[in-house]
Amino acid sequence: MSLNSNSHSRSSSVESGSSALSRVTTITDDGVDDSKGALGLNLLQCPSETLVDLIFVHGLGGGSKKTWSKTTSLSHYWPQEWLPKDPAFKNVRIHSFGYDSDWAKAKSSCLNIHHFGKSLLGEMSISPYIGHAETPIVLVGHSMGGLVIKKAYMLAKQDSDCEPLAARFHSILFLATPHRGSDSAKLLSNILQAAHSSRAYVTDLKRSSGTIQIINDEFRNYSSGINLSSFYETQKLNMGGGFSTLIVAPDSATLGYPNEKQMPMNADHRSICKFDTIADPNYLIIRNALASTVNDASKIGTANYNVDISRC
């Protein structure tokens, strides 16, 4: 009798954990229920004359396609479908970067922000398009993706072999990046524990975690030469059951640096990076910020342009 009771208790605990994971998907899953997209660095546009490289990096639970798509339709994958048709980006080589941030997988993982940043830097270094070019590099990171970009940049600055690549980092646009962590990460960590699973990168994201503090402290020392823009959510994300919350509060989504531009968005954590149409007001804000950024970077790219280096 006692054995059956304990078995039932354990089974109920697992079922409860699984159910909780399902309910909390909207907290951290920054995409829609479609193909996540490929891992690694993916080429989305390669113009005949490349003056700037633009890289999109997704966040927790997202993907190289999923994060930037409102629906499963390819027509909503705006870095690949909308930007290449926009004259402002005709000389911009566009990439997306994917890494394994699927917290809902059954197996535990030791991967953390350091590993993801190292992977991004490594892929950039060996890319036939980026590795040996002289183009300025603009990066866009959603949520944890912004932290991955910061880590990649710091690793590049700290490695003499990567000094030429580090010098090409021109701008970083942060979309709802938890620079000081997120309270939602603590909730997710508790749920994973109940389901007997763990993810190192979820622990990294807890508010005021050691990892978050170190990244912020170090990045401040290296960021003076980069253009920084932080876009933050102002709408609470509906998580079901009548409960909604800001996933990344404004005080965490902004750095407070002198060289940082800050922009509040009429969006929640999910809709800040995916849009209905090119007329979507939120898309226009991001598009215009990107257009202005690549225009500035293009002036450097024009001076450095070499057809043999930049040919696709």
What tokens appear for 87 in the block? 């004259």
The predicted model gives 232-258 an average pLDDT of: 87
Whole-number pLDDT of residue 23: 32
Helix (H, G, I), strand (E, B) or coil at 201: helix
Architecture of domain 14-307: 3-Layer(aba) Sandwich (3.40)
What tokens appear for 150 in the block? 């910061």
In this prediction, residue 204 has a pLDDT band, given cuts at 50, 70 and 90, of low
For residue 170, the surrounding DSSP H or E stretch is strand 169-175
For residue 287, the surrounding DSSP H or E stretch is helix 281-304
Please state at what angle helix 2-23 crosses helix 183-194, rounded to 10 degrees: 150
Number of Cβ within a 10 Å radius of residue 253: 29
- In the chain, where are the structural domains located? 14-307
Region of poorest pLDDT, from 70-79, 88-97, 253-262, 299-308: 299-308
Q: Which is more confident, 144 or 173?
A: 173
Q: Which is more confident, 67 or 14?
A: 67
Region of poorest pLDDT, from 58-62, 82-86, 125-129, 149-153: 58-62
pLDDT-above-90 percentage for the chain: 59
Whole-number pLDDT of residue 208: 58
92-98 and 40-45 strand pairing: antiparallel
Whole-number pLDDT of residue 304: 73
Tens-place pLDDT, residues 96-112: 999 987 645 544 444 58
Region of poorest pLDDT, from 11-15, 176-180, 216-220: 11-15
What integer best gives the mean pLDDT of the chain?
A: 81
The predicted model gives 5-29 an average pLDDT of: 35
Whole-number pLDDT of residue 305: 61
In this prediction, residue 120 has a pLDDT band, given cuts at 50, 70 and 90, of very high
52-57 and 137-142 strand pairing: parallel
pLDDT of 200 over the 60 cut: no
Number of Cβ within a 10 Å radius of residue 164: 13
Report pTM: 0.81
Q: Which is more confident, 111 or 143?
A: 143
pLDDT of 268 over the 90 cut: yes
pLDDT of 307 over the 60 cut: no
The predicted model gives 151-167 an average pLDDT of: 96
Whole-number pLDDT of residue 83: 98
φ and ψ at 170, to 5 degrees? -100, -50
The predicted model gives 63-69 an average pLDDT of: 96
